Amino acid sequence: MASGSRQVRGVHLDSQTRCAHYRQLIDVIALRHACCDAWYPCHLCHRELADHPAVPWPAARGTEPAVLCGVCGHEMTAAEYLGTGSCPACQALFNPGCKAHAPLYFEPPLRP
């Protein structure tokens, strides 16, 4: 499976973690949720499938992987993901629009 050993939950999930809400070629990441420690392709999938509100990934856990490349399964921290436009491992392009939603997924860094 392309997303490595991680189990990603999503609505109409494809093999590169696209979902019912974000289906463009470049929509290939999954995001870890601190509330349930589960990986979802987007916040809308979490809203539909989880039975609790989403909690952004805590800044205090910023050294743990919180983003997954759906193409190759490479895992990144929030800072690594936010600092790149493509996967460091397989060079798959990431949708720059996802970063506009970053506050939904990640707490702001401890240090600005």
Stretch that binds Zn ion, among 39-47, 58-66, 78-86, 102-110 (CB under 5 A): 39-47
- Number of residues assigned to the chain: 112
Using the rule CB under 5 A, which residue among 3, 18, 33, 67 binds Zn ion? 33
- The amino acid that residue 52 corresponds to is H
| Shortest Å, Cβ 112 to Zn ion | 27
Distance CA 6, CA 57 (A): 17
| Site residues (CB under 5 A) for Zn ion, limited to 64-93 | 69, 71-72, 74, 87, 89-90, 92
Residue whose C-alpha is closest to residue 97's, from 108, 88, 85, 89: 85
Under rule CB under 5 A, residue 47 binds Zn ion: no
Give rounded-to-5 percent helix, strand, coil for the chain.
Answer: 20, 15, 60
Q: List contacts with Zn ion (CB under 5 A).
A: 19, 21, 33, 35-36, 41-42, 44-45, 50, 69, 71-72, 74, 87, 89-90, 92
